[in-house]
Every structure is written in structure tokens, then in C-alpha cells.
Amino acid sequence: MKINTFSKVIASGVVATLMSMTMATSVQADSKRLTSPIPDWTGGAVTCKIAQILLEQELGYKVKAISMPSGPGVYEAIAAGDLDYACESWPSYSASKEIMMTKWGGDGSVSYLGEVGVIGTSTYFVPRYFIDEVANDLTSYAQLNKYKEHFSTIETGGKGRLIACPTAGWECRDQERLDLLGVDFVAVELGTEAAAWAEAQAAYARHEPFLLYAWTPHWIHAALDLVGIELPVYGSVEWPESGWGEDITFNYGNPASMSAHGDAAYLLGHMNLSNVEQSGLVMAIDVDGRDIDEVVQEWVDANKDEWKHWLL
């Protein structure tokens, strides 16, 4: 069949238009892709899962959630552009914010997006039965050495034992704190949040004394009757000699990515998840053994009147 020149021009134009549309669609699809880390504690994972569901189901993004340890590496990956955003940083734990965030005098390589809504507190705890039955005067770190033999194990010799922050990446610096305060205890990192709770619950069931790093909000305080040990007030001495401050948690991201994805940045900066809400979700996952995707999706489905205000 003979094709005239005019038909060839028309055909070429159609092909070019289709290719242009295909390329535009591809670029648009790529622009709706984000990468974030999965926090390595259940509360943070819940916060990030809520954000991911809303980003995908309401704003049309595809979020790649990757496993990596919390801490400085997350900040560095965000600054480098390898991650687009991260959820629920606890400011008193993080020295990176002072280097990378203008809010704390840093260089602006990481953007502060906004508060999560969750307000955390952290310290060391002992079971109430130990206070009631053995150590009526135990209120602060200053009395811990008096009772260290009750907390010692074969692995710690004559020193007491702290069930410490699970991983070094959380930047708790427990052993440094104990040493600076003259507390003759060994900080033992068990590697995961679940392992720390399991050991504490087992000791509690045996009615044994233990010293435990923990935080609120968390279901562990509903499961076990614990009493907080006072540490030096945050800011009164150099970190890590002090305890933690009241942590107004926040989301954070890569400046260029968040500028390019304004609707995502708005969502991450306007979340307002309460301590009570997060605690209930964490308990359903950690205690009841339910799947995080299922639990969080149920919350999203039931709370549109709340999260709709988080969207542009």
C-alpha cells in the first residue's frame, strides 16, 4: 500500500505525541515515589505506617519502606537524598539534629517537617514490689549503688545490671551515663525492643529485681507496675550525664524532596497522633500479636474525621 507524505507526517506526529505522553506519565509516576525507613521500635513503626497508608491511598504515592537501624545513619541518608523522609524523631536522643537542622542551629541538610503529636518521656525503672519490699528509699540514681547486689548477675560480677536501650543506634549512651554518674552498673543491650520487654516480663513474673530502660507512651507500663528512677534533669549537665527531656516528637525529610512533594510534606508536618491512640495500636501489635498493616488500616478507616485535617 502506498503511503503519501502527508500521512507519514501525521503518523510521525501521532507517534511523537504518544511517546511524549508516555514519557510524561513515566516522569509523573517516578515523581510520586518516596523512600522512608521503618523505625525499629513499634511506636515509631505505627506512626510511619499511618503516614505511608495516607500517602499511598489518599495522595497517590508509592512508598518504599526499608529496614535500617535508627540513629545518625537515617539523618545521613536523608541529607544524601537516599531517603525522602523519616518519622518520629525523639529530639533528646539525637545529636544529629544540631548538625543538620536549622531549628537547632544546623546546616539545613535535613528539614524539620512538624510534630507527630506523640510526646515521650524516658528514664530507668524498677518494679514497685522491689521498692515496697526492699528499697523504700530508692528514688534516684544516687541510691542505686546501695542496692547493686540485688541487680548483679554472673555476667556483671559485683556490678548491677541495667536492661539498657536495645541498640547503640538509639544514642541512649547508657553505659556512659552510668559511668559519669558513678553508678556501678553494666548496661546490657539486647538488640531489639522485644527482647528487652521479654526479659523484664520474665523477671517480673519471677518477682525478681531489675533495672530497665523504658519510655512512655508504652504498653509495658500497663503490663508491669514500674517506678521511675530520677536522673539529672535534661540540660542541667552535659549529655549523656543527664536524663532525657520531654520529647516532642517530629517528622523530618530531605529538603529538595519535600519541596518537590509539597502535599507529602504537608501531611508529614501536620500529623497529630496522641499518646493514647499510639499506645492502643502498639498494644494490639505487641501484646495481642496482630499484624501492623491490619491494625493501622483499621485505625485509618475508623478515623477519617481526624486525619482528613492532616491533608492539603
Using the Cα atoms of residue 278, residue 279, residue 282 and residue 288 in order, give the sign of their dihedral.
negative
Q: Judge whether 69 and 40 are in contact, CB under 8 Å.
A: yes
User: How much is the pLDDT for 31?
Assistant: 86
pLDDT tens digit at each of 312 positions of the chain: 344 443 443 444 444 444 444 443 334 446 899 999 999 999 999 999 999 999 999 999 999 999 999 999 999 999 999 999 999 999 999 999 999 999 999 999 999 999 999 999 999 999 999 999 999 999 999 999 999 999 999 999 999 999 999 999 999 999 999 999 999 999 999 999 999 999 999 999 999 999 999 999 999 999 999 999 999 999 999 999 999 999 999 999 999 999 999 999 999 999 999 999 999 999 999 999 999 999 999 999 999 999 999 999
Give 68: exposed, middle or buried? Use CB within 10 Å, 0-12, 13-18, 19+: middle
33-119+248-310 and 121-228 have identical folds = yes
121-228 carries CATH number 3.40.190.100? yes
Sole residue written with cell 496482630: 290
Q: Where are the domains of the chain?
A: 33-119+248-310, 121-228
What is the distance, to the nearest Å, from the Cα of residue 277 to the centroid of all Cα atoms in its chain? 15
User: How much is the pLDDT for 30?
Assistant: 63
What is d(CA 258, CA 266) in angstroms, rounded to the nearest whole number? 9
Return the amino acid letter for 284: A
The class that CATH gives domain 33-119+248-310 is alpha beta
